[in-house]
Structures are given as C-alpha cells and as structure tokens.
Homo-oligomer: A and B are copies of this chain.
Amino acid sequence: MNREQYIIGVDLGGTNLSVGAMPLDGSREIGLRTLPTRADLGADAVSDRIAAMIESVVIALNSETGAGRDAILGVGIGSPGPLDRERGVVIFTPNLGWRDYPLRDEIATRVNMRATLDNDANCATFGEFWRGAARGGRDVIGMTLGTGIGGGLVLDGRLYHGVSDAAGEIGHTSIESNGRRCKCGNYGCLEAYCSGPAIAERAREALESDPSPTIDTLVDGDLSRLTAHIVYEAARRGDTVAREVVRDTARFLGTGLSNLINIFNPDTVVLAGGVTQAGEALMLPLQAEVKRRAFKTAVDSCRIVLGSLPMSAGVVGAVATFKERVLGSL
C-alpha cells in the first residue's frame, strides 16, 4: 500500500500562531492557518489554542487528501527561546511571559501525537533551506529582521544549536563596542541599529536636526507614530533624511553580515522580515558594503537573498526540524 505520510508544523510567535501540514517530501503546504496567539490568556490557554488549530488542520488534511490521523507522524513546534530541545521546555520568553513551560509535552498530550520543539528563528531558516530561497545551499545563515533580529544557522546541511540550544543570536553581535545600548544589556548590537523600532528611532534622531515635511505628513505631525515602514515610504517618495536612514541601515547590516561571512564562509545568506521590505533600496547598498568589507573568496562564494516563504517559513521549518530529528535526515 502506497500511502503518503504527513507532519504538522506549528509556528508560535508573540503575536501570531500559524499551523499547517506537509507531506514528508515538503512538496506542498496543506491547511495553513494563522490566528492571534493571545499570550494574555496564559500558557495553558495558548496550548489549548494550538491543539485546537492542530485538530482543524487534521480535518483539513483529511478532506483534502483523504489521509487519516494515522498518516500523521507528529508535530514540529517552533517557539521563541531560550529553550531546551531535549526536555521540550521553553525556558523563558519575554514576549509570551513564560518560564520553564513544558510546551512540547503539553501539546503532545493534548493531541496525542509525538512532538518536537525547536527555536522559531532556527525553524524559519531551516524552512527557507528546505523549501525556500536557500534551497540547494549547504552552509546557510538566516536572519529575520523585524521587531527584533533573529538568526538561524544551517551548517554542513544541518541545523546548528550550540551546547545549550542558544546558538544563532546574530542580532546580538556588537558592531560598535561602545555603541547604542541594546535591550539585551550589550552595546552596539545589530538589533540596536537594524530592527524595525531601531530604524524608526534613528530616523527620529536624524529629524531632530533635519526636519522633513514628507515624514511629518506621513505621521500627521506625531513622530511617536514613526515606524520603519513609514521611513521606507518616505524614502520611496525621495525624502533625503529617510534615504540616509535606509543607507545607514544597509551600512550597519553590511558590517554585521561581513562579520558572519568572514566567520562562516556560507554559500547563502537569507534575509526575511519586515525590515527587508525596503527591497533594492536596502539590498543594493548592503551588497556593496559586504563587498567592501568581507574577504573576496568568501564574498564570491556567497549569495545574499530574500526569503521566499514570508508567510510560512516558520511552519515549513517546524515540519523540517521534526523530520530531521525523528527520521534522522531531511
């Protein structure tokens, strides 16, 4: 009997929760759905919501493919960290307010399926590696630039976790040893320059000495409403302050990426998240900065690409981590 098998992926974020199913070969996404996480309800209530979404994906899978529950190998979960993969425990998540929560087993018990747990940024990178823009790579650095900056490392074709599952914090590498204070306590972190809020903050500072009517109009005269998205819109309209902020973002990010390229000599760097929506206005000066800074051998063998799974990299990667962990390889 030739019966296809499936894995369910869960991408748990501070704001949204996405769940979907994929066949083992990752050829398609089935029943993908997204709901607000509602972290305010507490950890057990969020686990209930995840379990309910999994059950609805099971139904969607059945109606779309005819596959029953016994065709599902289990559930891969991606969650913010730090976490302990071996024990399946989320150690601490500022965004969700959890401490030492045994998320993996809470989900496994509720849906009566085997489950695995991994870091959300790892999953997003692994998803792009398996089925997205980093496909065909072997040494891949993934970076999600949004409210924060997350990172994932695929080295020699496998997710790299470090000795206590805390590896990949590339948003918290300092590019100015006495630079901006970062929320993590360090100084000059990439995240303190290139996250969405940091871009807005740098723009606000630039506007103090150099006001911009364009931006003023976009925020109705209230600079507290300024976001990276609005900075990008102003840059598109030709605003010089906004353009300079975007170019600076490319310079800072270029310094950080050059460091990673000199360290890892990767074949692929894949960038995702809202900050990348500036498109070529960011990517062209970024590539120039990397070329100016990193070793030629390393730059020549590395492509820098935008993620191609903006809505589902986390879910696809959660499926992939389950598959690699349970079946031994992708």
Contact = CB atoms under 8 A, between A and B. Distances in A.
Contacts of A151: 263
A88 interface: no
Nearest to A190: B259
Interface residues of A, number: 52
Nearest to A91: B297
A62 to B, nearest CB: 39
Contacts of A300: 164
A259 B298 contact: no
Interface in A127-142: 138-139
A167 interface: yes
Contacts of A175: 174-177, 188
Contacts of A297: 82, 91, 164, 166
A93 interface: no
Interface of A: 82, 91, 138-139, 151, 153, 155-156, 158, 160-170, 172-177, 184-188, 251-252, 255, 258-260, 262-267, 292-295, 297-298, 300-302
Contacts of A155: 155, 160
Given A264-B167, A265-B167, A259 B162 contact: no
B266 A162 contact: yes
Copies of this chain in its oligomeric complex: 2
Given A184-B295, A263-B168, A297-B82, A255 B174 contact: yes
- Which 6 pairs across A and B sit closest by C-beta, in order of nearness? A162-B265, A167-B265, A173-B259, A166-B265, A169-B262, A177-B255
A139 B169 CA distance: 16
A298 B282 CA distance: 32
Contacts of A251: 177
Nearest to A163: B267
Contacts of A156: 158, 160
26 contacts: A82-B295, A138-B163, A139-B163, A139-B167, A155-B160, A156-B158, A162-B265, A163-B267, A164-B297, A164-B298, A165-B265, A166-B298, A169-B263, A169-B295, A169-B298, A174-B255, A174-B259, A175-B175, A175-B176, A175-B188, A176-B176, A176-B177, A185-B292, A186-B293, A188-B255, A260-B263
A262 B172 contact: yes
A205 to B, nearest CB: 17
Contact of A301 (B164, B173, B184, B295): B164
A177 to B, nearest CB: 4
Given A138-B163, A155-B160, A262 B295 contact: no
Contacts of A252: 177
A172 B161 CA distance: 23
A294 B172 CA distance: 8
A166 B293 contact: no
